[in-house]
């Protein structure tokens, strides 16, 4: 629907009293004129024409709709349509939706107002907003909270810890520099010490120099003296020195030899065996001694054995011999009595057999007696009956076996025999005719066939014989055995049989008893012959004979031993006498009676002393030999000594210089010792100095050649103080380095730093989470809005973004309490602004975008014109052209647009656009009309 | 037959404290493990102890760490045990300067040079060590042109390098370079985890750090004992567990339960006991453990708040070990069944950030943009301190992404909780 014509009259503010008739473009109408030229009046008139009310300046209005042109006059403030149908159409279109005419006209006036209250745009948005999520849920519990103060406090702690760490690092760095400097300081110290050494040397230089001079003098004198001495008495002096050394040596040797000779004499005199012949006798004595000892031990063994044997015989005789053991052993039958003993053994054996037979018969007899005559005792005959039954089974088995053998013979042997017979017959019958021979026959000669046939016949006959004779014999034997057993069984079980058996048993018992009595008598007589009797106790037969035999053996052996003992005792006696005599000769004592113990003691003494005696003898011989040599040497030495004394006297007499020589020699010695002392002293000084200051010989020699240096004391003091200072510094650095090496200062500080850093990181992380959560929430909100925001907002945001060339963004943000506000995101400044915070131009553009969006969403039915009064005057050129192109697009879509402006440049802009798209834009210049 | 016994030690980093458990104090310092190493070497009567670089940490190299190392060297030398070292990227400049102090220890070569030392024996069988000292704190390649001549049958190479990483800044070396030199063994440094690279032919291995220095250095740490025959054949190798601390991670599933604070604590205790018993690590005096509490959206907020307010100075005694918690981390898997539009958008955003979904094309760019924007925001609001923990940009981006995901999960959990209602205390 668009406004085609409009006629106004007597509108106030116009100099000419009216705007007159205006014909409009269905697209864009730009109404240009200065202020108070009637632009707003014109727009208000258009607005008034669309709804009933005051229509004071309107004269005629013509609207073009889809249903035709509606023309009406306004007379006396009353609207008069051409017909009623037109009036109905017009009012229907106008009331079908919120009137955009009024809505857009208010843009200019509402430019400073909010979109919140009473705005249909916001009200529509709020209905659709969000999925019912309560924003307080997300913000509770401090999830989105950042605590800058806490963070700052922790950061401060971290900085402190970091500073402490840095401080230690700095300390260590400094120490490292000091360590480097240490080398320099130590070099300085070494330098000072060297200088100090030089000074010390110079201090003692005079003393050393003096000592050297004296030493040199002495050494010079000493070097001259031997020449003087040699010149005067070279041979005498030399011999003197030699003899003075030799005489004491010889004397001491003589003394030693004399002493040793005396000692050996004494030892020789102390020897036990003064007679050398005794040495030979000792060997004989030792042989006799060995025999004597062996004899003694053998005698002891024999005696012991005889004792134990006598004891054993006594025990045996105690059992068997009624007489006293002493008499029994002497008067008993002499050994050997083996035949009697063998006979006794045999009798006892027979007696045992008889007794066993008697016992068997008695047991059976007792059995008969203990059981009643009428009953048949199964216990007695059980075994026999079982045996009979087993024999019956065996008989059955043999019978079956026989039958089977016969059957087998008939089944196997007869057919084979038949086949062989046929083959034989065939081969014999066919004869020499080759054409009739069969395969097998061809290879089997006639003789072999006959042989096989005959063997089979023989086997058959043997089988028949075996089955008949052998099996029949086995069968017969079995039957006989069974019969015998059964007959015995029957005999035993019948009364007559029992009685006969009892009789037999009685006779047998009697027989055995007689035999036993006879045997007992024989045994008794034999024993009495042997002189012994049976003991009362129950001793076994075998034991009796064995014991008796042992007794006789023992008696016989004892007789031999006794003879041997007597022989030994005699020999022992002889040995003892011989030994005694030998000892008497060796040890030089008259043989008298002596006990065995004394004899043993004497022999052992001889045995122990003999080796040492032999050694002594050998040594004694050597010593005597040496003594002879030494004594002769001593005599020669004494001669020499005597001759030397004579020589000295001769020198004394003949040369008067000996005294001088001696005194010179003494002086020489004393000076030499003095020289030695000086050297030692010098050495001591050198050592002492060297110990403290490490003086080398070269330096000393050089210093000695220089003149003495004076005034070094001050320098020494100065150097000492410097040195002490350096030493202290070096020690301090060393101490600090050692302390640093042993310390855990930095590690501990690192621990503190890590702890504070951990707390801080924890808080930072918490804050980071909060910020990240806020960030994500914003992003999700944005996405949510983009995807799920109302169409109205989407359109508005789209247009607003286009108007602002993407610099601004319109969106709806949830606020506390569930309400929402329209916000604008300034992407250039990166901040979110409320409507009232926008600049005037931007705010106008935002509102324009909201209203234009509403056109698309809220308007239903005919498209009403859009009235804009100075709405774009605050826009910059870029945004202006964007809005203009937007308006052009709207107009092209069939919407009439009225835009009032007082600005000439705007009018020029629209005129320029009108030229580029002719017929679409009409510029009405009120000033010219 | 004579057998050479040598203990090889990787990165010591003396002077640095193991991170994350600073409240435990000096008991877990590297020095304690070094003392154990010295005792072990003396007890086993080894011939030499070798160090493959990074003996001293660069932050505390000069005095404290040097003092600790000097003490150890002196004790070893008093027992006649040789000490052989090369420098690494941490101590490339400090170790050679301490040569005067460690007069008893053998430093093979100078910075950027190969060096050699032979340990002789009266029967003329000898053990030769070759090694290379790191030339600077960063070094792209290691030159083998001046590799010394190896005369002994038994030989060990010491090198601080990054095997298989030719673009590494810390001495990239191809494994074939090492296998090409016919030594009995190569003891390498730089990688803190024990790794056996090659077992046939030369035995090539990283013995790892003596004492673990970070929670990520899990498992048993210590040194490697090698037994080499006089003919140069490796007879045996054995890890000596000398570290006094054991780092581990423990996951506890708390989902589907509405738990009070005490119940969560009890669950943690029980899980820790079970975990440590299953590990069987009674030899370790201290155990540092990171506990990851897996929850659902219902209880995530409560568990997360529990983690945030937990007092880490509490410790547990399990067997002979004292267990310290390095950190407590709440982890939540988002339930995306039938979400509202708002939750769906949030889930999508978190998934986009976590890189599990939508990680291609436009979405990948969106993810990167989000991380960049978040980085700017965090930098603006928290300053540089927050970023100090991240060494380079890549790591920083990953951490920011992680922070965003955690925050997103937390938000999501809250929304779900508000929708469904929750009994979580």
Instruction: Using CB atoms, pick whichever of A741, A751, A783 lies closest to residue B66.
Output: A741
- Residue at which a domain ends, from B279, B314, B333: B333
Q: How confident is the model at residue A436 (pLDDT cuts 50, 70, 90)?
A: very low
Tell me the shortest Cα–Cα distance from B373 to chain A, in angstroms: 9
Q: Within 10 A of A109 (CB to CB), how many other CB atoms are there?
A: 9
Q: Which residue of A has its CA nearest to B418?
A: A137
Instruction: Indicate whether A597 pLDDT > 50.
Output: yes
**pTM here?**
0.49
Q: Please write the tens of the pLDDT for every residue from A521-557.
A: 888 887 777 777 666 555 566 677 777 777 778 887 8
* pLDDT above 70: percentage of residues in chain A: 66
Tell me the shortest Cα–Cα distance from B58 to chain A, in angstroms: 11
Q: What is the value of ipTM here, to two decimals?
A: 0.83
> Is B425 found in the same domain as B363?
yes
Residue A767 contacts B where some CB pair is shorter than 8 Å: yes
> Is B36 found in the same domain as B69?
yes
pLDDT, greater one: A702 or B97 = B97
Residue A532 CB-density burial (10 A; 0-12 exposed, 13-18 middle, 19+ buried)? buried
- Residue at which a domain ends, from B308, B333, B358: B333
pLDDT of residue A247: 59
Instruction: Indicate whether A137 pLDDT > 80.
Output: no
- Residues of chain B positioned with their CB less than 8 A from the CB of A777: 411
Q: Tell me the C-alpha distance between A850 and A852, whole Å.
A: 6
Q: Tell me the C-alpha distance between B328 and B310, whole Å.
A: 8
Q: Please write the tens of the pLDDT for every residue from A191-201.
A: 888 777 777 66
Q: Tell me the C-alpha distance between A896 and A866, whole Å.
A: 6
Q: How large is the average pLDDT for residues A509-526?
A: 86
> Is B250 found in the same domain as B208?
no
Instruction: Using CB atoms, pick whichever of A748, A760, A772 lies closest to residue B403.
Output: A772
> Is B115 found in the same domain as B14?
yes
pLDDT of residue A225: 64
Q: Starting at the edge strand that comes first in sequence, how are the strands of the sheet with A68-75 ordered?
A: A20-23, A2-8, A58-65, A68-75, A78-81
Question: Which of A29-38, A514-523, A595-604, B144-153 comes out lowest in average pLDDT?
Answer: A595-604
| Parallel, antiparallel or unpaired: strands A866-869 and A897-901 | parallel
Instruction: Indicate whether A479 pLDDT > 80.
Output: no
CB-CB contact of B156 with B126 (8 Å): no
Question: Which of A327-341, A367-381, A745-759, B200-214 comes out lowest in average pLDDT?
Answer: A327-341
Q: How large is the average pLDDT for residues A911-916?
A: 88
Q: Tell me the C-alpha distance between A729 and A182, whole Å.
A: 9
Instruction: Using CB atoms, pick whichever of A751, A769, A787 lies closest to residue B407.
Output: A769
Q: What is the DSSP letter of A27?
A: S
* pLDDT above 90: percentage of residues in chain A: 0
Q: How many separate domains does chain B show?
A: 3
> Is B74 found in the same domain as B12?
yes
Residue B202's SS3 state is coil
Q: Tell me the C-alpha distance between A555 and A565, whole Å.
A: 15
Instruction: Using CB atoms, pick whichever of B16, B59, B345 lies closest to residue A780.
Output: B345
Tell me the shortest Cα–Cα distance from B190 to chain A, in angstroms: 22
Closest of B268, B280, B282, B283 to residue B316, by C-alpha: B268
> Is B124 found in the same domain as B13?
yes
pLDDT, greater one: A866 or B362 = A866
Instruction: Using CB atoms, pick whichever of B16, B23, B370 lies closest to residue A755.
Output: B23
Asked if B346 and A780 come within 8 Å (Cβ–Cβ), the reply is yes
- Residues of chain B positioned with their CB less than 8 A from the CB of A155: 385
Asked if A744 and B26 come within 8 Å (Cβ–Cβ), the reply is yes
- Tokens found for residue B105: 């220890």
Q: How confident is the model at residue A114 (pLDDT cuts 50, 70, 90)?
A: very low
Q: How confident is the model at residue A327 (pLDDT cuts 50, 70, 90)?
A: very low
Asked if B403 and A777 come within 8 Å (Cβ–Cβ), the reply is no
Asked if B382 and A771 come within 8 Å (Cβ–Cβ), the reply is yes
pLDDT of residue A133: 55
Asked if B67 and A741 come within 8 Å (Cβ–Cβ), the reply is yes
Looking up residue B122, the CATH number of its domain turns out to be: 3.60.21.10
> Is B261 found in the same domain as B188?
no
Q: How large is the average pLDDT for residues A37-51?
A: 76
Q: How confident is the model at residue A460 (pLDDT cuts 50, 70, 90)?
A: confident
pLDDT, greater one: B302 or A385 = B302
pLDDT of residue A330: 45
Q: How confident is the model at residue A433 (pLDDT cuts 50, 70, 90)?
A: very low
Residue A736 contacts B where some CB pair is shorter than 8 Å: no
Mean pLDDT over the full length of chain A? 73
> Is B222 found in the same domain as B73?
yes
Tell me the shortest Cα–Cα distance from A828 to chain B, in angstroms: 15
pLDDT, greater one: A310 or A441 = A310
Q: How large is the average pLDDT for residues A702-711?
A: 60
Residue A775 contacts B where some CB pair is shorter than 8 Å: yes
pLDDT of residue A493: 65
pLDDT of residue A707: 59
Question: Which of A137-151, A651-665, B204-218, B302-316 comes out lowest in average pLDDT?
Answer: A651-665
Asked if A741 and B23 come within 8 Å (Cβ–Cβ), the reply is no
Asked if B414 and A747 come within 8 Å (Cβ–Cβ), the reply is no
Question: Which of A39-43, A603-607, B4-8, B393-397 comes out lowest in average pLDDT?
Answer: B393-397
- Residue at which a domain ends, from B204, B224, B240: B240
**Percentage helix, strand, coil for chain A under 3-state DSSP, each rounded to 5:** 75, 5, 20
Q: How confident is the model at residue A434 (pLDDT cuts 50, 70, 90)?
A: very low
Q: How confident is the model at residue A695 (pLDDT cuts 50, 70, 90)?
A: low
Instruction: Using CB atoms, pick whichever of B22, B64, B305 lies closest to residue A743.
Output: B64
pLDDT of residue A117: 37
Most confident among A143-157, A579-593, A676-690, B217-231 (mean pLDDT): B217-231
Tell me the shortest Cα–Cα distance from A32 to chain B, in angstroms: 48
Q: Tell me the C-alpha distance between B317 and B284, whole Å.
A: 12
pLDDT of residue A641: 56
Q: Tell me the C-alpha distance between B194 and B218, whole Å.
A: 10
Question: Which of A374-378, A538-542, A677-681 comes out lowest in average pLDDT?
Answer: A374-378
N residues, chain B: 425
Q: Which residue of B has its CA nearest to A776?
A: B408
Question: Which of A166-180, A531-545, A678-692, B54-68 comes out lowest in average pLDDT?
Answer: A531-545
In the predicted model, residues of chain B with pLDDT beneath 50 are: 422-425
Q: How confident is the model at residue A669 (pLDDT cuts 50, 70, 90)?
A: confident
Tell me the shortest Cα–Cα distance from B370 to chain A, in angstroms: 9
CB-CB contact of A907 with A925 (8 Å): yes
pLDDT of residue A128: 47
- Residues of chain B positioned with their CB less than 8 A from the CB of A742: 67
Instruction: Indicate whether A356 pLDDT > 70.
Output: yes
Q: Please write the tens of the pLDDT for every residue from A220-265.
A: 777 766 655 555 544 555 555 565 566 567 667 667 766 766 676 6
> Is B315 found in the same domain as B264?
yes
Q: How large is the average pLDDT for residues A569-574?
A: 86
Domain containing B412: what range? 339-425
Asked if A787 and B341 come within 8 Å (Cβ–Cβ), the reply is yes
pLDDT, greater one: A174 or B282 = A174
Closest of B185, B222, B152, B218 to residue B9, by C-alpha: B222
pLDDT of residue A668: 75
Instruction: Indicate whether A710 pLDDT > 60.
Output: no
Q: How large is the average pLDDT for residues A649-654?
A: 55
Q: Within 10 A of A240 (CB to CB), how many other CB atoms are there?
A: 19
Most confident among A212-221, A660-669, A688-697, A872-881 (mean pLDDT): A872-881
Residue A226's SS3 state is helix
pLDDT, greater one: B369 or A321 = B369
Asked if B64 and A755 come within 8 Å (Cβ–Cβ), the reply is no
pLDDT of residue B267: 85
> Is B84 found in the same domain as B128?
yes
pLDDT of residue A382: 59
- Residues of chain A positioned with their CB less than 8 A from the CB of B414: 137-138, 141, 143
Q: What is the DSSP string of B296-364?
A: -TTTHHHHHHHHHH--TT-EEEETTEEEEEEEEEEEEPPP-SS--HHHHHHHHHHHHHHTSSS-SHHHH
> Is B261 found in the same domain as B200?
no
Instruction: Indicate whether A620 pLDDT > 80.
Output: no
pLDDT of residue A109: 39
> Is B221 found in the same domain as B290?
no
Instruction: Indicate whether A469 pLDDT > 60.
Output: yes
Q: Tell me the C-alpha distance between B46 and B143, whole Å.
A: 31
pLDDT of residue A108: 45
Q: Tell me the C-alpha distance between B385 and A148, whole Å.
A: 13
Tell me the shortest Cα–Cα distance from A171 to chain B, in angstroms: 11
Tokens 């000097």 -> residue: B70
């Amino acid at each position: 629907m668009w406004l085609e014509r409009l006629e106004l009259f007597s509108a106030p503010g116009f100099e000419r009293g009216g705007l007159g008739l205006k014909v409009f473009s269905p697209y864009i109408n730009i109404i240009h004129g200065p202020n108070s030229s009637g632009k707003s009046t014109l727009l208000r008139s258009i607005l008034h024409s669309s709804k009933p009310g005051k229509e004071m300046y309107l004269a005629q209005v013509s609207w073009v709709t889809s249903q035709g042109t509606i023309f009406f006059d306004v007379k006396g403030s009353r609207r008069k349509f051409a017909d009623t149908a037109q009036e109905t159409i017009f009012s229907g279109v106008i009331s079908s939706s919120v009137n955009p005419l009024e809505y857009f006209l208010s843009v200019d006036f509402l430019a400073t107002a909010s979109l919140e209250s009473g705005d249909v745009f916001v009200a529509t948005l709020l209905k659709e907003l969000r999925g019912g999520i309560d924003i307080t849920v997300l913000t509770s519990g401090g999830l989105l909270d950042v605590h800058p103060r806490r963070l700052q406090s922790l950061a401060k702690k971290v900085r402190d810890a970091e500073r402490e760490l840095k401080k230690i690092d700095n300390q260590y760095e400094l120490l490292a520099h000091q360590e480097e400097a240490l080398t320099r300081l130590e070099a300085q110290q070494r330098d000072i010490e060297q200088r100090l050494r030089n000074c010390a040397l110079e201090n003692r230089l005079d003393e050393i120099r003096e000592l050297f001079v004296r030493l040199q003098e002495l050494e010079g004198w000493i070097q001259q003296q031997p020449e003087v001495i040699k010149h005067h008495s070279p041979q005498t002096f030399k011999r003197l020195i030699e003899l003075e050394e030799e005489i004491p040596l010889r004397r001491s040797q003589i003394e030693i030899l004399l002493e040793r000779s005396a000692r050996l004499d004494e030892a020789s005199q102390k020897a036990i065996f003064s007679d050398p012949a005794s040495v030979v006798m000792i060997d004989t004595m030792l042989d006799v001694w060995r025999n004597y000892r062996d004899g003694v031990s053998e005698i002891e063994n024999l005696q012991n054995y005889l004792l134990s044997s006598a004891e054993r015989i006594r025990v045996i005789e105690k059992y068997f011999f009624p007489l006293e053991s002493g008499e029994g052993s002497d008067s008993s039958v002499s050994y050997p009595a083996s035949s009697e003993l063998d006979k006794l053994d045999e009798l006892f054996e027979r007696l045992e057999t008889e007794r066993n037979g008697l016992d068997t018969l008695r047991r059976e007899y007792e059995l008969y007696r203990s059981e009643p005559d009428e009953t048949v005792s199964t216990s007695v005959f059980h075994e026999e009956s079982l045996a009979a039954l087993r024999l019956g089974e065996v008989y059955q088995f043999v019978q079956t076996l026989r039958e089977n053998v016969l059957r087998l013979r008939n089944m196997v042997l007869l057919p084979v025999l038949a086949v062989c017979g046929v083959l034989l017959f065939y081969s014999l019958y066919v004869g020499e005719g080759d054409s009739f021979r069969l395969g097998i026959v061809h290879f089997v000669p006639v003789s072999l066939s006959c042989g096989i046939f005959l063997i089979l016949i023989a086997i058959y006959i043997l089988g028949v014989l075996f089955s008949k004779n052998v099996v029949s014999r086995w069968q017969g034997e079995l039957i006989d055995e069974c019969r015998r057993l059964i007959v015995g069984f029957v005999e035993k079980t019948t009364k007559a049989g029992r009685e006969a058996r009892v009789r037999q048993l009685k006779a047998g018992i009697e027989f055995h008893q007689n035999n036993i009595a006879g045997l007992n008598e024989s045994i008794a007589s034999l024993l009495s012959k042997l002189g012994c009797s049976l003991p009362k106790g129950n001793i076994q037969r075998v034991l009796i004979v064995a014991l008796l035999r042992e007794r006789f053996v023992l008696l016989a052996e004892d007789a031999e031993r006794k003879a041997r003992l007597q022989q030994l005792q005699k020999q022992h006696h002889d040995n003892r006498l011989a030994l005694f005599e030998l000892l008497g000769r060796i040890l030089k004592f008259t043989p008298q009676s002596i006990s065995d113990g004394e004899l043993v003691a004497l022999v052992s003494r001889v045995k122990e002393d003999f080796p040492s005696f032999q050694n002594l003898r050998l040594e004694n011989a050597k010593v005597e030999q040496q003594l002879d040599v030494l004594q002769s040497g001593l005599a020669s030495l004494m001669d020499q000594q005597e001759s030397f004394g004579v020589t000295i006297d001769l020198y004394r007499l003949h040369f008067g210089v000996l005294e001088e020589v001696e005194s010179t020699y003494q002086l020489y010695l004393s000076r030499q010792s003095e020289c030695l002392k000086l050297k030692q002293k010098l050495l001591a000084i050198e050592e002492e100095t060297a110990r403290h200051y490490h003086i080398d010989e070269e330096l000393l020699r050089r210093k000695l050649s220089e003149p003495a240096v004076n005034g070094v004391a001050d320098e020494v003091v100065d150097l000492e103080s410097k040195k002490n200072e350096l030493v202290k510094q070096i020690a301090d650095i060393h101490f600090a380095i050692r302390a640093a090496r042993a310390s855990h200062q930095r590690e501990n500080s690192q621990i503190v730093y890590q702890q504070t850093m951990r707390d801080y990181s924890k808080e930072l992380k918490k804050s980071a989470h909060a910020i990240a959560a806020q960030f994500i929430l914003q992003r999700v909100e944005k996405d949510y809005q983009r995807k799920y925001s109302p169409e109205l907002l989407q359109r508005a945001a789209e247009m607003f973004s286009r108007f602002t060339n993407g610099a601004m963004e319109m969106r709806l943000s949830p606020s506390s309490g569930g309400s929402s506000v329209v916000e604008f995101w300034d992407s250039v400044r990166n901040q979110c602004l409320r409507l009232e915070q926008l600049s005037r131009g931007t705010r106008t553009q935002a509102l324009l975008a909201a209203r234009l969006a509403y056109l698309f969403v809220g308007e239903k039915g005919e498209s009403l014109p859009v009235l804009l009064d100075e709405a774009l005057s605050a826009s910059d050129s870029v945004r202006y052209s964007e809005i203009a192109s937007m308006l052009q697009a709207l107009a092209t879509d069939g919407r009439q647009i009225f835009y009032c402006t007082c600005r000439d440049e705007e009018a020029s802009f629209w005129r320029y656009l009108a030229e580029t798209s002719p017929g679409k834009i009409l510029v009405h210049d009120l000033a010219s009309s | 037959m004579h057998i050479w016994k040598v203990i090889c030690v990787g990165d010591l980093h003396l002077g640095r404290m193991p991170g994350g458990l600073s409240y435990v104090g000096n008991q877990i310092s590297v020095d304690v493990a070094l003392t154990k190493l010295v005792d072990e070497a003396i007890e086993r009567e080894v011939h030499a102890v070798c160090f493959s670089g990074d003996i001293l940490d660069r932050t505390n190299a000069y005095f404290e760490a040097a003092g600790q190392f000097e003490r150890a060297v002196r004790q070893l030398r008093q027992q006649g045990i040789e000490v052989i070292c090369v420098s690494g990227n941490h101590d490339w400049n400090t170790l050679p300067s301490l040569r005067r102090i460690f007069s008893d220890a053998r430093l093979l070569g100078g910075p950027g040079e190969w060096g050699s030392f032979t340990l002789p024996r009266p029967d003329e069988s000898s053990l030769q060590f070759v090694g290379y000292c790191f030339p600077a704190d960063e070094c792209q390649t290691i030159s083998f042109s001046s590799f010394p001549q190896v005369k002994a049958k038994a030989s060990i190479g010491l090198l601080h390098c990054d095997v298989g990483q030719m673009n590494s800044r810390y001495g990239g070396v191809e494994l074939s370079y090492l296998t090409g030199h016919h030594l009995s063994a190569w003891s390498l440094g730089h990688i803190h985890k024990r790794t056996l690279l090659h077992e046939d032919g030369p035995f090539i291995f990283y013995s790892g750090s003596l004492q673990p220095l970070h929670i990520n250095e899990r498992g048993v740490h210590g040194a490697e004992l090698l037994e080499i025959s006089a003919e140069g054949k490796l007879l045996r190798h054995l890890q000596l567990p000398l570290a006094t601390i054991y780092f581990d991670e423990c996951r506890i599933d708390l989902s589907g339960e509405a738990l009070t604070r005490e119940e969560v604590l009890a669950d943690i205790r029980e899980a820790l006991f079970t975990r440590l018993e299953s590990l069987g690590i009674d030899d370790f005096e201290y155990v540092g453990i990171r506990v990851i509490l897996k929850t659902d959206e219902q209880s995530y907020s409560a568990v997360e708040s529990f983690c945030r307010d937990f007092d880490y100075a509490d410790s547990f005694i399990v067997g002979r070990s004292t267990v310290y918690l390095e950190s407590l981390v709440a982890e939540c898997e988002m339930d995306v069944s039938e979400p509202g539009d708002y939750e769906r958008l949030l889930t999508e955003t978190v998934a986009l950030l976590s890189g599990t979904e939508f990680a291609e094309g436009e979405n990948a760019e969106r993810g990167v943009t989000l991380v960049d924007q978040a980085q700017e925001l965090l930098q603006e609001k928290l300053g540089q301190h927050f970023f100090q923990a991240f060494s380079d940009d890549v790591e920083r981006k990953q951490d920011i992404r992680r922070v965003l995901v955690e925050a997103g999960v937390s938000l999501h959990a809250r929304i779900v909780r508000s929708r469904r209602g929750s009994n979580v205390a």
